[in-house]
Amino acid sequence: MEWVPTVFIAFKVSVLAIGMFFAVKWHYDKAKREKGGDSQRAVLRTTGIVAVVFVLLVVVLLLLTFGLGRALGLDLSFS
């Protein structure tokens, strides 16, 4: 039963990563067709900013989760 969260989290991360890849690719190709190089750079810059913000939010969420768990007295050790 310990493997179930690992498999579900891995599946969720892979589905979200694939979806994000195709969303960025679609916007990138659309900008390439419509406006050229300047629009492509804007899409890539925005994608980078969104990716950095997403990673920072995930880190903050993990820290808050572990902080709340420790405050409630939960054992969060990996061993």
What is residue 79's predicted lDDT score, i.e. its pLDDT?
63
| CA–CA separation, 13 and 7 (whole Å) | 10
Q: Inform me whether the pLDDT recorded for 64 exceeds 80.
A: yes
Q: CB of 28 within 8 A of CB of 40?
A: yes
Q: Inform me whether the pLDDT recorded for 1 exceeds 90.
A: no
| CA–CA separation, 35 and 66 (whole Å) | 46
Would the pTM count as exceeding 0.85?
A: no
Taking phi first (over 0 means left), then psi (-120 to 50 degrees means alpha), and beta for anything else, what does residue 75 get? Answer: beta
